[in-house]
Structures are given as C-alpha cells and as structure tokens.
Structure 1
Amino acid sequence: MGNAISWIQGSDLPPSVVLVPPLLERERKGRSRFTKSSYDRQFARPQLELLFGDYLGPDLRSILHFAPPDDPRINVTAKLGLPRGIGLGTGQSGTEAAGPAVGSMTLRFEPDPRHPYSFVDVKAGAAGAAGNLATMRACMIDAGSGLAAFAQLPLAPGSKQGALLQGQNLRLGARYTSPALSAGAVMSPSQALLHDAWVVGRVGGLVWGASTRPSLALGPLFSEPAPDTDPRSPIQRAVDACLSRASYGIAYSPGAQSATEHGRFTAALELVEERQLSVAFLYHMALQRNVHNPFEGSGEMRRGDVVGITNYVDIGFQMVSDMQSAQGSVLRFGASWQANKNVMLKARAGLDGVSAAAVFRSWWQPAFTAGLAASYDLRTGQPRFGATAAIESYRHLRQVIGWWQVYERSHEGNKMAGARLTQRHVASKEDAAYHEGKGLLVPLSEVDNPLILGQVAPAEADLL
C-alpha cells in the first residue's frame, strides 16, 4: 500500500480517477423533522414525495434560498408559485387561466450551526383557510439524551390590533429519539387536546411504526361520566378513539443500520387509518459510466486521467388502494437519472397521467437551478407545462437527508466552482478496465460511504 501511494505521489502522471458529483436534488424539509412525527418520515415517504413531486408538477414556481456567508446561523427561504401552470386545451382556445398566486417566506435561526436541528423560525404567507398570517416554531434537541421539545404558535389577524398571538392554538410537543426508537406526542395545552402520537422503531434494516391523530379532548373525557348508552370506561373510549385514527407501517431496507447508512432499496407497507393500503418500493443506484462529454471534467478531461463518472439513478413505485372505494386508488411509477453535477432527468407515470422534466443546475455562487416539465392528463386529455426556477446561496452540502448521502466539501472546495466542485476517487483496476471497454457497468458501493466521501453529519442526524 505504501509503495502504491509513493508511486502515485512520485509519478509525473496523475492517477486515473472516477468523478463523483454532488447530488443535484436535496430535500430541505428534513431540517425541521424533529418538530413533526417521526412516523411521517419513515417508509420511504420523503423520498417518494421528492421523486414523484419535485420539478414534475404543471405549475410555475420560483424558490430562493439565501444563507448569508457572514452569519451561518441565519438562512431565508422564499417561494412563489402559480399552482395551475400553463395548459394547452384540446378543443379549447389558447392558454388556460392560471390559479391564484401563492407565496411564503421562512426566516430561520440556528443558535449553533453544528446542530442545525435546534432552531427558531417564522414562516409567513398568504392568509389560508384558518386566517393565519404566520407561524412561529421552535425546537430544542439534546443528542446525548435523545430528548427534544418543540412548539408551534400561529399568528392570526385581530379585529383592531392587527396581528395577535393566538395562545389558544399553541401546540407543544415532546419526544424521545434514538437510532433505534422514537416516541412522542403533540398537544394543545389550552384546549387539553391530543393532536398526534407516535412510536417508531428500528431493528437492523427493519423499521416499524404506529401513529394516531385522534384530535382527542382529554379534559371532558376524564372529567365527565360516560353516557348511559355507552358502557365503556373513559380509558376504553380514549383507546378506541386513538385506534380509529391509527396508522401502521413496516419497511425493510437491507444494509440499513441507521438513519445515515441505508440500503440500496426500500420496500414499505402501510395501513392508513384502516382506509388505505399503501405498498411502495424505492431503489437507489450509484452507477459508473464512461465519460463522453468533454465538459464533465473540464481541464482534467484533457489530461486523460478521468476514466468514468458516477451517475445516480432512483426508481420508485407506489400503489395506494382505497379500501372503501376502488375509485380512490392510486398507482404511480417514477424514475430520475442524474447524469452529472449539472443535468438530471425525471419522469413519472400513473393512472392519472404522465409527466417528464429536465433539470439543469449551475454550481456558481449563488447556484441557479432551472427545471422544465411537460405532463399529459389522461382524465381530461389535456397537456400541461410547468417550470421551476431556484436560486440558492449555499455554504455547505453537509446535510444528511433520508438515505441519500450528501457529501461535504472541504474548506477549500467551498471556495471553488465548476468542475473542481466534483469529488474524485482513485480508479481501481476494474474502473480502468471498464474505460478500455473490458469491464461491466456495475454499482459502486463505495460511492455512498460517507467516510469515503468526506461527509460530516450532525450528531442528531442518526436519530429516528
């Protein structure tokens, strides 16, 4: 081994390398996951939402994520969209009218950037059905003990005094979380109302969980006697109320031993409130292909040391059967292919229609992402088109999201742009053979190893 390193360091010729680009698509909702039920983030839910949703919708969206370089504790996210996008009607004239514009802005403060899951934020937007102008959230988690507390306080319009804090709608939550178990609940103290409760566990690659959203009024339940027509005890009535709104799920991902070490595929089965049965399958591949585009390696390509590039391919399937009506069933397939650090293609097909999107990203500072989508609605026979434009001022790609590993660039790498942003690893004999046409297209298991990629995750990232 030492001789090999000395030979590499002493040789005038650079070693052959395989390019490892950063992941183009990231899910930011995971930063606030400890203010929500752990159940909602299991069973491949976030990954399927990302695969089937982002960039594929027939709407017009713009996103701005700004992280000031002078203060790593603050970041701002703003969104603006036209939900209905642009449609070309069959038998109709011209362009279909777009829906009302919607927008929101979130200001987030992280006291310690090394622990991004403890934060305070304010999200403001157009008045919704509840009349809320904004919502304030706060979360504090201790990775050592696994204990966390969080709060959500709506800000609603008042009659004469403008906006008033709605203390009666305050929600408080508490949870215990570890790499193997998570349990918690969310309540409204002023109303003595139980909104949500869950328990999730992990045993090797097997994840199981149960959740209930009973909106259960605890005060009247335990203080008032049961009606004469109801022979059940107060405890039994509470249990029945929780079971009537309960969901159960189980998922298997071989090779997944923690939240940051996931297997290549995930198979999930979920029963939602005894009304829906969901079956999902998600397959993630990191594949190597030969390099044909001279721009993928910039100047490095012209030296002939780059023999391959890593591609990311994700394939997902989901079947949701309505146990009360066959008309409510949903079947959809989805796939995405990231060819390099700048280009990604996505497609989705289902009982309602098909859609495809092309996404392009520049890794300048700030980074710019543009996505164009086309879809065809099988129910109306109408094609639709959508577009997404996003600007991101980033500091680090450090966040561990789902089972997609996002590497962290070095301090020097954060100052670079273009091709030098892409990591490289020394090519093996198999890599060189593949470059010469003698090898097979095989998955590279090392590509998802956070140690090899130099990925540094917060201490809380491994918690359920």
Structure 2
Amino acid sequence: MGNYLEKEQPPPPPPPPVVVVPPLFDFPPLAVRTRMLESSYNLLFGKLALKCLFDDYFEDARHFSTRIMLKPIDDPHADLVATVSGPFDHKPDDNIVGNAEFRWQSNVNDPHTFTDLFVSNSDPILRLRSCAYYPKYGFGAFGIFPLLLKSRDSSGNQGLMGLRYGSTNLSFGTTFLPLLVGDDIPKSAWLIRRIGRLTAGVQYEPQIGTKGAEKYNDLANWSYAIGYGVGSGSPLSPSFNFCLELAKGSEFIASFYQHVVVQRRVKTSLEEYGAFGITNYIDFGFELKTSVNNDKAKSTMHDSTFQVAASWQVNKNFLLKGKTGPLSSSLALAFKSWWKPAFTLSLSAKRDRADGKIAFGFGIVVDSVREASYHRADPNFVMLKPNKEHLAEGIQWKIGERPLFESDLKSGKFDGIPKELRPLDKIM
C-alpha cells in the first residue's frame, strides 16, 4: 500500500534548447594549407575568400573533376591529395589531367612547416616544395623546386626560393631565383601593413625584359591595394571586406566580400531533439575589373568586366551557389555526407549568353584530411529577443516571428575551429 501512497515521480526535464552549428563545407580551404608559400598580398584583401566563392564547385562546362584527399589512420603527419579531371566526351586529342600531392609535416598542430611532393602527367612532372616558419620570431623560409620538366626554356622553371616575416600587423617578404644573380633579383617582393581595420599593401613583380633601374620605375611592375575589413577570422562570426587595387599599373579592381552568419528556426525532423535553431552561412562577393590604360582599352573589345556571386549553406549537407557576369551565368548545387571519409557530390550548370546554351559539369570529392570540428550544440550561441522572453523557463514560439541569435564573440572559445584558421595572435 505504501507504494500507492508515494507521490508520482515527475518526468525528467527536457534537454536545454540548443542551436545547431554545422561545419562549413570546405574549411579551411586547401589554399590555406600552403599559404606560407604565397605572397601575403595574394591572400589578404579578401582575395582568397573571393577565389573560393567564384571558383569552388563551378566545374568547367562539359567537364568532370574528381579529388581524393586521404590521411593514414596511424600517421596524422602525412596526407595525400589526388585529382583527375577532363571532358565528358573524351577524344584522342583531349588530355585527361591527373596529379597527386604527398604532404608531410613534423608537427600536427603546426601546418606552416611542411614538405610536399607533387607528381603529374603535365608540367611539372615532379616538384618539391618545402617551408619552415617560426611563429615565435615571425620569420620563415620556403622553396619550390621543379625536379622533372619536359623543358626548362624559361628561368621560372629553375626553381624559386623566398624569405618572409609575419606578425599581427605587418608582413613582408621576397622571392628570388636561386641560380640567378644581378638584375633578376628579386623575383617578387611585398609589404603589407595593418592599422586598425585598414590594411594597405604593395607588391613588386618585374615583367620579363625589364632591366636595371627601368624595372623599378615601370608602373607595370607594381601593384597597390588598400582594404577595409570588419570581423575576425572565425567562420562563426560575420565578416566584411572591401578592397581597391591598382594591379600592374593598368587594371583597377574593386571588390567586396561578406560572410553572414544567420540563424533560423528548425522545421525538420532531421536534426537532434532539443534543437530549436540552426546556423546558416551566407556569402556575397562582387568584383569589378576595369582597364585604366587607354591604348589597351581601345584594342580590347571588353575593357571592363565584373562578376557577382552568392552562396548559401542550408545545413551541414547542402550548399547552393550562383554567380553571374556579362558573358555567362552559373549555378551549383553540392551535397556532402559527413562520413569518414567525407563524400561530396556537386553539379553545376553554366549558361553562355552568346548562344543561350546550357552546359553541365560534375564533381566528386572524397576527403578525410579536413574534419568536421564544430559542436552541434554550441554554447556560444544564445537567443535574443526585444523583450526578456528568453529568460523565461518556457519559450513560446509565435507564428510569423523570426528569432534572432548572436554569438558570444568575446568568449574566445575557438577550440572547435580547425587549427589552420583559428584566430592567431602572431600571424596577420
């Protein structure tokens, strides 16, 4: 009888509501893994983000591409990236391009010191690259050496070496050909300075044929850029970058890139129980190129061009991208399954404005190098309302209202972000 007199135990409380934070499709970009081999001028000012937005998953018309990125289970220091691409309707004269790159780095947590070996059925047939960077001092050195080539008729095929320095607000460096001296040094040089939200840079790249003091006075050998940026390097926070560039004294480039992090209410049963919101990533990009050389403009039919692109990652599985320009428009849809390894299928359609025809491209990516590392129930995200309803124990959703969210950017909890693009204190 005592059992019947006991009070009925209340049901266990439901799990706290969370916001689903899916990982980005391709984070970090593959180009980031080798950024210490590149001039900082070519990566900053939103250039890397715009390149990924305009190029990734937009396959060439009537072409396919396959990329396999694998890492040994027992050795995280090494990985292999192999790519095969070519036309759908392969003909004897068409070339199916195949290459592979083996990479090794001594420290798993330090992606800036590494060595890789590249093999291909086109030039270069065999290439060695190596980089050593010391964040404590900010100095680094790198080298790119083609070992096997079908021909070495140009000086650039002899190899390239470089020195660099990087800190939070300053980056400079130079590259040179190791076997040449005199007027051919340097091959290139750059200087980048950041003050607050403004970033300014200059890059020197002498053209072939210029010698002596002439190459320093020739505006075609110089490029200048200034950018205004807002936001951090974390993909969990929004960012904005606007840039103006005068490239090689003859081309003016204006561009902007914006990464937007928005949250919407979950309306699907595919997410875990207790998830009432999901994070979406929306990216916008615009680039305008105009010739400032009158002689060049008169001899060229198109003396200016532009392109606009946008992408929307709906959840961890679907990505939709589109871009348009004066000559063509393209649309791409990608599906990703987060198995181990991850498997990505992409289909792109391109419409040529000249003939009105639509051509398709197809891509497959198998990836175990980049791993999903965002927590699905991220504690940094909280719900915001104009009133204090979010402090109540039960949240009543109202039809027609859109919930607002924001991330606690001051928490500094970036452990879930891949190490290649974590906010670093010593690298700009």
With normalisation by structure 1, the TM-score equals 0.77
In the alignment, is residue 291 of structure 1 matched against residue 266 of structure 2?
Answer: yes
After TM superposition, give the deviation of residue 168 of structure 1 in Å: 7.9
1:344 corresponding residue in structure 2: 319
Shift of 1:460: 9.3
Q: Residue type matched to 1:175 in 2?
A: R
Q: Percent identity?
A: 28
Q: Does 1:207 align with 2:229?
A: no
- The answer for unaligned runs of 5 or more in structure 2 is 1-10
For 1:70 and 1:213, the matched residues in 2 are separated by 43
Question: Match for residue 319 of structure 1?
Answer: 288
What residue number does 2:177 align with? 188
> Matched residue pairs, number?
394
Measured in 1, the distance between the counterparts of 2:245 and 2:324 equals 22
Deviation at 1:116, TM superposition (A): 1.1
- Partners of 1:448 and 1:105 in 2: how far apart? 41
The change in CA–CA distance for 1:381 and 1:158 in structure 2 (over 3 A counts) is closer
Q: Which residue of 1 aligns with 2:4?
A: none
Aligned counterparts of 1:75 and 1:16: Cα–Cα separation in 2? 38
Provide, for residues 386-430 of structure 1, a one-character-per-residue CA deviation record: whole Å limited to 9, x for no partner: 011000124645xxxxxxxxxx35xxxxxxxxxxx7344375364
Matched, 1:248 2:209: no
User: Are 1:422 and 2:376 matched, yes or no?
Assistant: yes
**1:107 and 2:69 are equivalent in the alignment:** no
Structure 1 vs Structure 2 CA RMSD: 3.2
Q: Is the Cα–Cα contact under 8 Å of residues 120 and 138 in structure 1 kept in the other structure?
A: yes
Change (3 A) 1:56 1:276: same
**1:100-139 maps to which residues of 2 (within 5 A)?**
100-128=95-123, 132-139=124-131
8 Å Cα contact 1:322/1:329 also seen in 2: yes
1:44 is matched with: 46
Cα distance change on mapping 1:260 and 1:196 into 2, 3 Å? farther
Are 1:251 and 1:268, in contact at CA under 8 Å, matched by a contact in 2? Answer: yes
Q: Aligned residue for 1:146? A: 138
2:349 maps to which of 374, 387, 398: 374
Q: Which amino acid aligns with 1:35?
A: L
Q: Quick one: structure 1 residues 353 and 215, their matched pair in 2 at CA, closer, same or farther if it must change by over 3 Å? A: closer
TM-score by length of 2: 0.83
Question: Per the alignment, do residues 446 and 61 of structure 1 end up closer, same or farther by CA in structure 2, a change over 3 Å counting?
Answer: farther
Contact 1:320 1:329 in 2 (8 A): yes
Counterpart in the other structure of 1:310:
279
| Residues 99, 207 of structure 1: alpha-carbon distance in 2 compared, 3 angstrom cutoff | farther
| Larger helix fraction of residues | 1
Once the two structures are TM-superposed, the CA of residue 191 in structure 1 deviates from its matched residue by: 1.5
1:374-413 equivalence runs, <5 A = 374-394=349-369, 396-397=371-372, 408=373
- Superposition deviation, residue 246 in structure 1: 0.6
Structure 1 stretches of 4+ moved >4 Å:
95-99, 215-218, 258-263, 431-435, 447-450, 458-462
| Contact persistence 2:382–2:407 (CA under 8 A) | no
Shift of 1:189: 2.3
Q: How far 1:255 moved relative to its partner?
A: 3.8
The question of whether the paired residues in 1 share the 8 Å contact of 2:165 and 2:171 is answered with yes
Specify the SS of the correspondent of 1:451. Answer: coil
Change (3 A) 1:320 1:167: closer
Partner of 1:3: none
1:264 Cα deviation (Å)? 2.1
In structure 1, list runs of 5 or more residues that go unmatched.
Answer: 1-9, 87-94, 222-233, 398-407, 410-420
Contact 1:19–1:306 (8 Å) recurs in 2:
yes
Q: 1:63 to 1:442 in 2, by over 3 A?
A: same
From the superposition, tell whether residues 118 and 452 of structure 1 become closer, same or farther in structure 2 (CA, over 3 Å). closer
Given candidates 451, 454, 458, the residue that maps to 2:413 is 451
What is the aligned counterpart of 1:176 among 162, 165, 169? 165
Aligned to 1:237: 214
* C-alpha distance 60-434 of structure 1, shift in aligned 2 (>3 A): farther
CA distance in 2, matches of 1:96, 1:133: 23
